[in-house]
Each structure stands twice: as C-alpha cells, then as structure tokens.
Amino acid sequence: MGGHAGTPEEHTIARKPQPEGGQAPVVQRVRIRYAKRGPLRFTSHRDFARAFERALRRAAVPIAFSQGFTPHPKISYASAAPTGVASEAEYLEIGLQAPVDPEALRAALDAALSPGLDVLDAVIAEGGNLPDRIEASLWHIEMPEVDPAVLRAAVDAFVAADEVLVERMTKQGRRTFDARAAVISINASAPTPTPSGAPDVPCAILELVVRQVTPSVRPDDVLSGLRVVADLEPPVSPRVTRLAQGTLTAQGAIVDPLDADRDGAAIVGH
C-alpha cells in the first residue's frame, strides 16, 4: 500500500504503451480507490488528473480513449476532495481496451505515482454508476490549540440549531446555504494522550458524517457554521482528512462503494 517500489519495467501492464488516439472499444472498467497524504494533499484535482494520466502512460495501462479529433483517456472521477484536504478515500473509474488483473494494475499505478498519491484498491466494475454510490463522507478534523470542551459546546449549539446559514463563493457567485441540514452526525473529542514529555498543547478532534448535497457542504462550511453559532475561531488552520465516502446506511454508517463490486459488503465508519 503506497509502496512505489521497483523499476518501471517491473510495474507495467502491457509490453508497450497503447498509442494515444486509439479508438478500440472499452472491454473492461476498473474502479480505483486512492489516497492523498502529507504534502500531496495540496495537489489540486487538475494537477492530480495530469499526474494520473502520466502514471497510466508510464505503467503502460491499455487505457481506452474517446472518439473525435482530440481523444481523451476514459477516466471519470467521483467527488474529489478539496485542495489542501487529505483523504484516504478518493475514487475514479477507468475504461480499458484490454482486460487487466486489478491488483497488478493497482501495483503498477502506485509505483508510477509519487509517494503521497497512493493507489489503495482496484476492482472490476460489475455494473451500476460509481457516483450514485457516493452518498456521504466521513471527515476527521484535528483542531490544534482548541480546547475540547470549547469544541463540544460549539457542537452542541450547532446540533441544536434548526439551520445554520453560511456563505461561500461558488462558480455561480457568493451563495448562502444551510450547513446544518447536510450533517448527519457530528462529534467532538480529545485526542489520545501524547507520550510523556510531549508539549501540553490543547487539541480537539471533530468527526462528522456529511451527506452529499447540492451545493456540496464541505468541512470548512461546517467550521464556518461553528463560528456562526458559537463564535469558534481556531487559532491555527485545522487539519482535515476524509476517512471514507460511500453509501449511507440507516444507522449512519458508510459502505465503501467498491464493496458492491465484490462479494459481501463491509461497513466502514461509525
């Protein structure tokens, strides 16, 4: 997982790269889970897309291309995390001109990407629409220099509110929307104890499950909502990580969207 070991020759799918502009039909679709970690969390979606296309070429993946004068590789992304946010659960789907072994594909792409952009899983698509399986996300937010008791009080005020209106600039201009309605669960806690001798700096942990809505409600929107209801202003930038996204159960748990392509259905989250 995230090894990126070996030579390029050891981590290729085909004997030679497929030529760009090939018009062979899609014979297999593969769904991929990847992570953005460490400094690579600052990779924008556009930069990741370019890096991923380079990785496809380096790994000699038999990617299928669209028709027309400017063919594009058959890649579709599902609900990418905002720039600056780490994630353990990003998803995409690729169409291939020839069948491949999913684990060999995962290893080859992982080796071709920079450490911090880590390919965690790959499965053959067995039908359905991947974006339709993304109903909610589980977020973990570390808030250094915030007292956990202060965060709990802000969370209580947020939960008690019928609506929490926040503003954000969107492609359609500045919009006001309700950040409360999309939040399925929100919990504040203290981190696990630090090793003996570590600086005694307060830190609070916020975990929330947010439903996929339009316009999307992001972790920074929820933080803005805490500022609205409780005047909570973190002194330093919170560290945000998406831990999971997928189908939402009646109990508020999240099912990995790739599980529908396997036998069984494991539940991730609360």
Confidence of residue 10 (pLDDT cuts 50, 70, 90): low
- pLDDT of 7 reads 55
Contacts (Cβ under 8 Å, ≥6 apart) of 166: 176, 177, 179, 221, 224, 225, 228
Q: Would 28-132 and 134-194+201-255 be classified into the same CATH topology? A: yes
Residue 263 scores a pLDDT above 70: no
Judged by average pLDDT, the poorest of 45-54, 56-65, 116-125, 169-178 is 169-178
Query: How many Å apart are CA 59 and CA 61, to the nearest integer?
Result: 5
- pLDDT of 1 reads 52
| pTM, rounded to two decimals | 0.85
Please, what's the b/e burial string for 28-44 (b: 16 or more CB within 10 A of its CB; e: otherwise)? bbbbbbbbbbeebbebe
Residue 125 in tokens: 């698509």
Query: How many Å apart are CA 28 and CA 149, to the nearest integer?
Result: 52
- pLDDT of 267 reads 37
**Helices 45-58, 102-112: crossing angle, 10 deg rounding:** 110
Query: How many Å apart are CA 105 and CA 77, to the nearest integer?
Result: 17
- pLDDT of 15 reads 53
pLDDT tens-digit series, residues 64-85: 999 888 889 999 999 889 999 9
Query: How many Å apart are CA 72 and CA 107, to the nearest integer?
Result: 23
Cβ–Cβ under 8 Å, residues 41 and 86:
yes
Across residues 189-217, what is the average pLDDT? 80
Confidence of residue 245 (pLDDT cuts 50, 70, 90): very high
pLDDT tens-digit series, residues 135-188: 999 999 999 999 999 999 999 999 999 999 999 887 778 889 999 999 999 999
Per-domain residue ranges for the chain?
28-132, 134-194+201-255
Residue 96 scores a pLDDT above 80: yes
Cβ–Cβ under 8 Å, residues 64 and 73:
yes
What is 134-194+201-255's CATH number?
A: 3.30.70
Cα angle value 56/116/123 (rounded, 5°): 50
Closest CA to 61 of 24, 94, 25: 94
Residue 2 scores a pLDDT above 70: no
Across residues 111-117, what is the average pLDDT? 97
Cβ–Cβ under 8 Å, residues 138 and 209:
yes
Please, what's the b/e burial string for 199-208 (b: 16 or more CB within 10 A of its CB; e: otherwise)? eeeebbbbbb
Q: Is 157 helix (H, G, I), strand (E, B) or coil?
A: helix
CATH architecture of 28-132: 2-Layer Sandwich (3.30)
Across residues 183-210, what is the average pLDDT? 81
- pLDDT of 57 reads 97
- pLDDT of 173 reads 81
Contacts (Cβ under 8 Å, ≥6 apart) of 176: 165, 166, 167
Does 251 or 223 have the greater pLDDT score?
A: 223
Contacts (Cβ under 8 Å, ≥6 apart) of 233: 227
Cα angle value 154/88/220 (rounded, 5°): 30
Cβ–Cβ under 8 Å, residues 105 and 115:
no
Question: Any idea of the CA torsion for 163, 174, 81, 94, to the nearest 10 degrees?
Answer: 120
Q: Could you give the percent of the chain with pLDDT greater than 90?
A: 73
Closest CA to 246 of 126, 134, 143: 134
Per-chain mean pLDDT for the chain? 88
Judged by average pLDDT, the poorest of 134-138, 156-160, 211-215, 255-259 is 211-215
